[in-house]
Amino acid sequence: MTLTQSAIDILSRNDRGGFTIPTKGLYPYQWNWDSAFVALGIATYDMDRAWGEITSLIEGQWPDGMIPSIIFRSDDPDYFPGPSRWGKTKGPIPSTGISQPPVLATIVRKLTEGGSVQDKARLADVFDAIYRWHAWWHDARTVDGIVTTVHPWETGRDNCPEWNLGLDAMTVAPDLAPYTRRDNKHVDASFRPSQEQYDKYLTIVQFGDSIDWDQRRLTDEGPFLMADPNLHFVLLRADKDLRALAAELGKPQAVRDQIDAWIAKGEAATDTIWNDELGAFTARDMHSGTFCNGFSNCSPLCFYADSGSAEQWGKTMDHMTRIAAQIEYMLPSWDPEAPDFEAQRYWCGPLWPQMNYMTALGLAEQGHTDMAARVQNDLCRVIEKSGFWECFNPLTGEGCVGNNFSWTAAVWLSWQHDKKLEGVA
């Protein structure tokens, strides 16, 4: 079987009847940004099923506009924290009470580029839901002009060392309900977050449930509040793509003006996460104002969002060049020179396929074609070497955590279909 056939096979095997799970065992439900990437991959061979992935994700949307990070269509005893632990959430389908990076508008735009009349009709069906979701980010999660997060899981970068700043400043709830982790049963514990981190993750969940998942209160009163370059740049890029889609559909001027206002707000907020001392975009604790001190794989998403000054972009490229010279496979999720870099531990070092996808795209669009090629080719090389893993050791190329992984298959398919990125060797 060729790798492309294997990728299609993985996506079919992870199909649970209209929606796709990230991988069997470890992640038995529908995850938000995973499904968006899955749609990108499936679109290379079955447009109808790709749109179905998107509509199934939107089915979980809450009345306030939020699209949750996980949709629980069943209760799998092998997964924790499942629906009962999240408590009184407010969606039409049981779900978590937090969201995930809003890549959806960007991927929907890609699906409709050069698409058929049917694709335009499908776009018209999903536009309002995506618009309401973006409004939710701008209303419920914005503090001092920048989008923030209330939980490391909401950023999609669960245990990146950046979150230690916010987690260290909070305490575990004294009445935290007892629990048994399941993630460590599926994979080697050395890949996964520590116990103390897990207690704090669940403290935030317990707090959210205690306020009936009032999202504005969760932002304003919750124990954890940080700004994240991943959320900020992904949302800013998605707002720009949503603006193009609004024009394509001939949406009313008021809708276009609203999106323009979100974009202007986002551009103004980019400086808020510029860590001048490090010369990079980093996460920032919004309670104390303190910056995190490491270059991560979302620092270069400034190119993808087309935001930041020439000086900020230059310094970002300097970090990329420095890291590229010392690491075999770009792009590690954490700076290999940082003391808490760990090549195998999840977001503390491994290379993540969906991050390479967005980073390579942004670099190529801004004319950094050599670095774009490096980021793209290195992901292809680790897949060729090890297969379709959730993430990869950036020093050895070995696969980490879950195997037969949907978004890895999807990114592979998208790049094969596009014959790699335009202008990239």
Q: Is 191 in the site for ligand GLC (CB under 6 A)?
A: no
Residue 384 a catalytic site member: no
**By CB under 6 A, is residue 22 in contact with ligand GLC?**
yes
Minimum distance between the CB of residue 202 and ligand GLC, rounded to whole angstroms?
14
Distance between CA atoms of residues 90 and 59, nearest Å: 13
* Residue 130-169 contact track with ligand GLC, rule CB under 6 A, x = bound: --------------------------x-x-----------
Residue 390 known to be catalytic? yes
Cβ closest to ligand GLC, residue 158 vs residue 260: 158
Minimal distance in Å, beta carbon 158 to ligand GLC? Answer: 4
The minimum distance between CB 354 and ligand GLC, in angstroms, equals: 8
Q: Of 224 and 262, which CB lies nearer to ligand GLC in the complex structure?
A: 224
Residues near 30 by Cβ (< 8 Å), separated by ≥ 6? 16, 19, 20, 21, 56, 57, 60, 70, 71, 73
Closest CA to 218 of 131, 130, 90: 90
CB nearer to ligand GLC: give 258 or 414: 414
Residues 167 and 152: their CA atoms lie apart, in Å, by 9
Please, which residue, 22 or 83, has the CB nearer to ligand GLC? 22
**Given the residues 119, 228, 285, 390, the one annotated as active site:** 390
Under rule CB under 6 A, how many of the chain's residues touch ligand GLC?
Answer: 7
Angle of CA points 160, 27, 174, to nearest 5° = 60
Q: State which residue, 73 or 374, has the beta carbon closest to ligand GLC.
A: 73
Distance from C-alpha of 286 to C-alpha of 269, rounded to nearest angstrom: 13
Considering only 31, 163, 198, 304, the residue that binds ligand GLC (CB under 6 A) is 31
* Segment 33 to 62, residues that bind ligand GLC, using CB under 6 A: 33-34
Residue in 158, 260, 306, 365 annotated catalytic: 158
Residue 296 CA: distances (Å) to CA of 24, 147, 200, 349: 28, 18, 22, 9
CA distance 251 to 249: 5
Q: Name beta bridge partners: 332.
A: 351
Gap between the Cα atoms of 225 and 208, Å rounded: 13
- Shortest Å distance, C-beta 148 to ligand GLC: 18
Cβ–Cβ under 8 Å, residues 273 and 290: no
Backbone angles phi, psi at 187, to 5 degrees: -135, 165
Stretch that binds ligand GLC, among 25-33, 86-94, 132-140, 223-231 (CB under 6 A): 25-33
When binding is defined by CB under 6 A, the residue of 27, 51, 233, 341 that contacts ligand GLC is 27
Considering beta carbons, is residue 20 or 270 the nearer one to ligand GLC?
Answer: 20
- Residue 290 zone, left/alpha/beta (φ > 0; ψ -120 to 50; rest): beta
How close are the terminal C-alpha atoms of the chain, in Å? 25
- What phi-psi label fits residue 145: left (phi over 0), alpha (psi between -120 and 50 degrees) or beta? left
Per CB under 6 A, the segment of 27-35, 87-95, 239-247, 289-297 that binds ligand GLC is: 27-35
Stretch of 29-37, 280-288, 320-328, 381-389 contacting ligand GLC, by CB under 6 A: 29-37
Contacts of 296 (CB under 8 A, 6+ apart): 157, 160, 162, 229, 282, 283, 333, 334, 335
Tell me the closest approach of the beta carbon of residue 183 to ligand GLC, in angstroms: 9
Shorter beta-carbon distance to ligand GLC: residue 127 or 341: 341
- The contact set with ligand GLC (CB under 6 A) reads 22, 27, 31, 33-34, 156, 158
Residues annotated as catalytic (active site), given as ranges? 158, 390
